[in-house]
Structure 1
Amino acid sequence: MPFAPPADFGILGLAHALGDPKDVAATAADYVDDPDRVLLWGYRTYHRSPDSTTPTALAARAATKALAKAGVDPRDLDLVVVADSSVPDHLLWDASAALAREIGATSSPTLLLTQGCASGVTAFQHIAGTFAVREDVDTVLLVTVNQVSEAHTNRMRSNTLLSSDGAAAAVLRRGHGRLRWLATEQITDPTYNDFYRVEYGAAAAPFPPEGTSNLDVDPLSLVYRHFRREPEHLAKFVRTLNTRVRTVYERACDRADVDPGQVAKFLFLNDNQDSLADIAKAVGVPLERTNAALGADLGHCGGADQLICLDTYLERGDLAEGDVVALAGISIGMHWYCTLLTV
């Protein structure tokens, strides 16, 4: 029998919104003392929202565009899902309800996902579950957003990639045959949950020591500190990062009865160019079938990377009907994840 996913839905409308484009070479020295290190990552452009913009406002821009493309009134949405990989506008506050209010979806239930960069991709599985158990749900809005809070993190020093401001929105419709969901897989290894965290501002450490701030903490130091007595385990961890991407990708393909070699695009995080080359080799796809070239002009938009890239490729006409696209990545947690869609 032909493969049939457990929930039948596709993307009716897809759109994205970005902050203002900034030239990496011209601005790197504003963020780091060693701009040459950043330039070696291979990024040409990143996007920064104006200081007055909030993650909710950026998410609303993408949502409004997607709803217009789909021809859907926000009042007709059955569920609003927000996947936020940013520092939120406020604490003890619900970004999903705030977005629903912002776009006029005032009668829709909402769901907030905050598993870092994983949320925008793994959200498809959560939404599939809703479609499966709620026959009255026909139209769902998924919005994934990332806007760097420069009071909490340095966009050029929080990891080995360059963080950017962007949001993507997808209107999902039951029974829609285009950009149809096939499968989602996830691997979690909680051993490394503390890696890359923001040190101060939450309940465990509300305030930094006097005279310091989060910007004085190198998030990568937690990684190095974890392995300081076992350098061989650090090398093993680095290898594990890529091999688990391959594993979760193969599991998703197996679940959807898809030949990995036939996947038209493998869309990963907008990582640095060396990392994307390593990922392509580990997964076994040609680099040109990844988002490496596009990511260099976007920067890393957190959990929105894959959908922003997908929307861009569709706008360019780079994908054909029937093409299978993989959305994959690694996230704080640690999580490895992959969702398959068919154009």
Structure 2
Amino acid sequence: MRLSPLDIAGVGVDLPEPVDVRALATAQGAPVDGYRGWISACHGGAGDHPSSMGVRALERALADARVSAAELRLVLFCGASRDYPPSWSVSTEIMRLAGASDHCLGLDTSAGCLATLTGLDLAHGWLALHGGGHAAVVAAERWSHTIDHGDPASSALWSYGDGAAAAVVALDAGAAGRLRFLGAEFRSRSAYNGYVRIEYGGTRAPVAPAGVDPHRRRVVGRSRDEVIAAYREGYAAAYAALRARFPAEPTHLVCNQISPGVVGTISSELDLEDRTTVTGHETGHLGGPDVLVGLRRYLDEEHDDQAVVLAASASYAFGTGLLVADRSREPRPPHGPPSVEPAGTRKGVTP
């Protein structure tokens, strides 16, 4: 089944101020010699929750798209973090805060750091089945508090940061998007489920033992070489399937991961080295929001590529998606300054 392309009508981000994760680790007594992750990571404040950051990003995406919240037919939340446990719905809270109508449906989805890419694919198919229109894909994470910066064994996670990003997408709705999403391909490595996990709070271990941080996130049982090999294989397989499905020749990659080295591994595997938009230097690893924060930067920098790859993964699944430029449309006036700015100001899109 071939669908009409999905227009990327608007993209917005909301990013708290970054901190130096090496300074945090040093203050907690952990050695930082040999640390290979991102140096900066955005850390949220008291009012930065998945729904509050998510709605700020969505409002900026709506302004960028020149679309009202009342026009949305679907809101997909694609983050792992939540304000409250289920069945409380982050997507529905974002709908309420943004002013979406009762005709809009909110769905919470979860696929780790891959969820935004799966969300674009889901929105594409949902809109096609429901006659087109506008949808929002919103990703937000508030997980820096789950990282123990004093634990050298957790140094691969020190750069986990907080933030949100949103895309307003449209199918057969006359949206003036500069890029159009054709589709995505995925590959799974189910044996790696649980490589990064929080031990407590689920049905297997609902309560942490006395004196144990119930929110702590940790890496479990895989060597770095094993993980890198899995990433290479997973991304290569997903990209091969994408190239087999679509004839376009990609010339740019939007990707962010837990470290510069992992991004380098992915860009090398996809043969797009030196043609990659990366945001980790300023933001750290944001999980689901990463790919849209990178896309916002790509749009701000006004590249002229005909085809762009979005790449994202969890430890247990890998995906690549394809965006193509729509050169037939009249360019719109600039919407404002770049959204991924130097430290010192709250980061977002100014319509």
Q: Does 1:113 align with 2:112?
A: no
Which structure carries more helix by proportion? Answer: 1
Runs (5+) with no aligned partner, structure 2: 326-351
* Alpha carbons of structure 1 residues 26 and 310: separation in structure 2 relative to 1, 3 Å: same
Unpaired stretches in structure 1, ≥5 consecutive residues: 225-233
Number of equivalent positions: 317
What are the within-5 Å matches in structure 2 for residues 139-288 of structure 1?
139-148=134-143, 150=145, 152-154=146-148, 157=154, 159-160=156-157, 162-175=159-172, 176=175, 178-214=178-214, 219-223=218-222, 235-236=225-226, 238-259=228-249, 263-286=250-273, 288=274
Matches of 1:327 and 1:196 in 2, distance apart? Answer: 23
Structure 1 residues 30, 97: CA separation in 2 closer, same or farther (over 3 Å shift)? farther
Partner of 1:303: helix, strand, or coil?
A: coil
Aligned mate of 2:17, from 13, 16, 20: 20
Cα deviation, residue 236, structure 1: 5.0
Find the partner of 1:134 among 114, 130, 136: 130
Q: 8 Å contact 1:160–1:272 — kept in the other structure?
A: no
Q: Which amino acid aligns with 1:290?
A: T
Candidates 307, 315, 318, aligned match of 1:324: 307
Match of 1:335 in 2: 317
Once residues 287 and 63 of structure 2 are traced to their aligned partners in structure 1, the CA distance between those partners, rounded to angstroms, is 24
Q: Letter of the aligned partner of 1:241 in structure 2?
A: Y
Q: SS at the partner of 2:220? A: helix
Aligned match of 1:56:
51
Q: 1:300 to 1:218 in 2, by over 3 A?
A: closer
Measure how far apart 1:316 and its partner are. Answer: 2.2
Match of 2:69 among 69, 74, 83: 74
Separation of aligned partners in 1, 2:227 and 2:16: 34
Cα deviation 1:60-80 (Å, max 9, x = unaligned): 110011111112111121111
Instruction: Give the CA deviation at 1:100.
Output: 0.7
- Residues 1:69 and 1:281: Cα distance change in structure 2 (over 3 Å): closer
Once the two structures are superposed, residues 177-227 of structure 1 have per-residue CA deviations (whole angstroms, 9 ceiling, x without a partner) of 531011211112222212211100122211111221246x67223436xxx
Q: Does the 8 Å contact 1:60/1:103 carry over to 2? A: yes
**How far does residue 134 in structure 1 lie from its aligned partner after superposition?**
1.1
Q: 1:301 to 1:237 in 2, by over 3 A?
A: closer
Letter in 2 for 1:330: S
Match of 1:124 in 2: 120
> 2:286 — aligned with what?
301
* Distance verdict in 2 for CA 1:246–1:13, change over 3 Å: same
- Cα distance, 1:301–1:31 mapped onto 2, change above 3 Å: farther
Alignment partner of 1:100 is 2:92: no
**Cα distance in structure 2, aligned partners of 1:173 and 1:266:** 22
Deviations 1:235-267 (A, max 9, x none): 5553132122122112112212123xxx23212
Q: CA deviation at 1:147?
A: 1.6
Range moving further from structure 2, 113-122 or 242-251: 242-251
**Match of 1:231?**
none
- Number of the residue aligned with 1:34: 31
Q: Identity over aligned residues, as a percent? A: 25
TM-score (norm 2): 0.83
Aligned residue identity for 2:120: F
Letter in 2 for 1:277: G
Amino acid at match of 1:329: A
1:268 deviates by: 2.1
Q: Deviations over 1:79-102 (max 9, x none)?
A: 11111132x111121111111111
TM-score normalised by structure 1 residue count? 0.85
> Mean alpha-carbon deviation: is it higher for 250-259 or for 73-82?
250-259
Measured in 1, the distance between the counterparts of 2:117 and 2:63 equals 22
Question: In the TM superposition, what are the counterparts of 1:4-15 in structure 2 within 5 Å?
Answer: 5-15=2-12
In structure 2, the residue matched to 1:89 is: 83
Specify the SS of the correspondent of 1:197.
strand
Aligned-partner Cα distance in 2 for 1:325–1:191: 30
Query: What is the alpha-carbon distance in structure 2 between the residues aligned to residue 149 and residue 162 of structure 1?
Result: 8
